[in-house]
């Protein structure tokens, strides 16, 4: 169990490469246009998680410090490696479900709203909390998650695939997704003395990123 908790994110780039080959070789011939967009969204999510946890890494520590404002026990509270694994892996399930059920436009919209919400967290809140212009996860948000989401929304609008009900249900799906896959795991598993502390190398990567992207440094 602990092995997976501390290593799941290393597989994200593998999953990305597998999906890229599958989509490039035959997926574009078999999958529906909506499914292709949703596959690209999942691929973007894998890159996003890789950026947060592997290169440059330090993302989970940034979330605790920059998003939640924890200044002391940021290796264990409120998020820890167990809750981080559950948060990110449960998101996979929802994204995969949207690929398997492309006709459920509201579900696809829910994942796209989730993508766009990353811009608020990474683009504004975490940067403000860390006093930086960049944090792990921001680049993939700006260059992958946001463009894919805009394209999906544009596609379903132009093709007349979404009803007003779909948009409303999409917002509801997004709220439920945030509650069930993000808020609840963190809140239910928060423990300052957890046995799933973030590894020291994540802290070191966070320090490197903060030193590189510090706004205070540029103001001196």
- The structural domains of the chain, with segments of one domain joined by +, span 2-191+198-210
The structure tokens 């249900």 sit at 169
pLDDT at 1: 86
pTM: predicted TM-score of the whole model, two decimal places: 0.95
Closest CA to 193 of 78, 113, 95, 90: 78
The structure tokens 């479900």 sit at 97
Interval 52-87: pLDDT, tens: 999 999 999 999 999 999 999 999 999 999 999 999
% of the chain beyond a pLDDT of 70? 98
220 pLDDT band, cuts 50/70/90, is very low
Q: Is 102 helix (H, G, I), strand (E, B) or coil?
A: coil
Number of helices (H) and strands (E) in the chain: give both, helices first: 14, 0
């Amino acid at each position: 169990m602990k092995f997976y908790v501390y290593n799941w994110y290393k597989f994200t780039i593998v999953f990305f490469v597998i999906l890229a080959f599958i989509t490039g070789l035959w997926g574009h011939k078999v999958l529906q246009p909506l499914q292709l967009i949703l596959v690209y969204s999942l691929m973007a999510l894998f890159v996003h998680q890789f950026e947060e946890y592997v290169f440059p890494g330090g993302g989970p520590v940034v979330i605790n410090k920059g998003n939640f404002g924890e200044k002391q026990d940021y290796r264990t509270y409120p998020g820890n490696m167990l809750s981080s694994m559950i948060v990110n892996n449960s998101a996979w399930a929802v994204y995969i479900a949207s690929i398997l059920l492309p006709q459920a436009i509201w579900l696809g919209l829910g994942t796209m709203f989730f993508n766009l919400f990353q811009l608020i967290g990474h683009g504004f809140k975490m940067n403000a909390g860390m006093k930086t212009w960049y944090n792990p996860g921001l680049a993939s948000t700006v260059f992958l998650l946001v463009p894919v989401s805009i394209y999906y929304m544009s596609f379903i609008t132009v093709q007349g695939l979404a009803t007003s009900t779909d948009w409303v249900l999409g917002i509801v799906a997004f709220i439920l997704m945030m509650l069930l896959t993000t808020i609840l795991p963190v809140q239910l598993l928060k423990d300052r003395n957890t046995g799933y502390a973030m590894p020291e190398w994540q802290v070191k990567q966070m320090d490197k990123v903060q030193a590189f992207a510090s706004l205070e440094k540029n103001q001196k």
